A = this chain, B = another copy of it.
């Protein structure tokens, strides 16, 4: 049954295509998505539809809201990822979810992770040390998605041999995340060495003013390399997510 609207479920039951138990299960799945009293409508159907559970944007959410969401996802057997989770919230949540892992630089809170076929391989490249928090968020996201994640740090364009001598590492990845501030030139260079997509993440890091990341954002959008697509400023999560999704698709075939 390719459709999950309420009408579809009910008429399938009426036609005898679904048992009452199956209907109950499907309805619980749907209506369990609402945590009453917390202003939260969790989308537990996301994993079926889009391949991954809903990732939770932690900023602005109360501790109670976060706990409710984690509990609902755990009951549904879905691994959880909270981004922009501050350390205080993480410390309290860790008591309830002892198997969780908190990465303070990335500010990600992870409970479990997905499994993946064929060893999807994501490489996260950074231009400089100051880009690390954003890069870490990308790493944590791709790890949560079941990918093998490697990093290549401090290979900014001003020192040309640094990248060239490591180009084989670039060429082994299924997808590359490239995190850079300042002039944001790195994704163009990296993309010229690889045959896989490069997801560029501009950061708001810069000597003098980089206009809060607008300079590298524009630079990356105008990249002369065709295999570069861009996500939001400082959006390490999105960079990791896109690369993770692509790497998983590619690896699935490899598995055979």
Q: Give me the interface of A with B, judged by CB distance under 8 Å.
A: 2-8, 10-11, 14, 30, 33, 39-41, 43, 45-46, 49-52, 54-55, 57, 59-61, 65, 83-84, 118, 127-130, 132, 153-162, 164-165, 168, 174, 181-185, 188-189, 191-197, 199, 204-235, 237-238, 241-242, 245-246, 249-256
How many chain copies does the complex carry?
A: 8
Q: In the complex, how many angstroms separate the beta carbon of A211 from the nearest chain B beta carbon?
A: 7
Contact B182 A222 (CB under 8 A): yes
Docked-complex contact A174 and B249, CB < 8 angstroms: yes
Q: Which residues of B contact A216 (CB under 8 A)?
A: 219, 222
Chain B residues within an 8 Å CB radius of A194: 49-50
Given A161-B45, A220-B183; A234-B209 close (CB under 8 Å): yes
- Residues on the B chain within 8 Å of A4, using CB: 161
* A7 contacts across to B, CB distance below 8 A: 3, 5, 7-8, 11
By beta carbon, the residue of chain B nearest A218 is: B215
Of the residues B50, B57, B157, B227, contact of A185 by C-beta under 8 Å: B157
